[in-house]
Structure 1
């Protein structure tokens, strides 16, 4: 089990499994707010401190909310506004041990323009 947290520790996350691939996106939000991102089925990541210690930001097509800690401002994860069976949420791997980040293949995604992976 991998556990991570925002800088101040008010929001804690526990991954359901070890990720093998992460995404580094260059969209206007991700390039400012963090990553790399790993994805899990919605509800499978244990998140403590949410929603009482978090604030969300909804932008663009208004299908996702990006979540950050109210105290330290670290972006911890994103989740769908209208969860449906099998949907995903993203977890900011930057809130975990650097050794975990180093062990994961990070793919570059062009979310700013082509909406395609650009590392192949």
Structure 2
């Protein structure tokens, strides 16, 4: 699947397609309005230079929230799963030609952490 930020400065592809998305109510996700799809790092392919991105971390500083330096759209996050594997959380709102309304949502209470 193809994805990008609003201005196209950040472009990526992901192997596979989401079968559900997570809606988190933590202080960051609630403000961004993201719906996340978690994939292994190997499934994610960034097609633009790293310098097109900026990072933001908060709380325990273990998740790199990646966003476009030009338009500010938060397209994905990078982190480590509890089992130690590298993962990427894709903002499904940044996927192209994809029906978000057909995707089941799983709600996560991120405020409880």
Aligned residues: 111
Q: Map Cα deviations across residues 24-71 of structure 1 (whole Å, 9 max, x no partner).
A: 001001011231000000132111224120100011111111000000
In structure 1, distance between residues paired with 2:49 and 2:27 = 25
**Partner residue, 1:118:** none
2:79 is aligned with 1:80: yes
Q: Map Cα deviations across residues 10-31 of structure 1 (whole Å, 9 max, x no partner).
A: 1112111011011000100101
Structure 2 unaligned segments of length 5 or more: list them: none
TM-score, length-normalised on structure 1?
A: 0.82
2:11 is aligned with 1:12: yes
Segment of structure 1 superposing worse, 58-67 or 92-101: 92-101
**Partner residue, 2:40:** 41
- Higher helix fraction (1 or 2): 2
Give the 3 Å change call, closer, same or farther, for CA 58–67 of structure 1 in structure 2: same
**Partner residue, 2:92:** 93
Q: Is the 8 A contact 2:4 2:96 kept in 1?
A: no
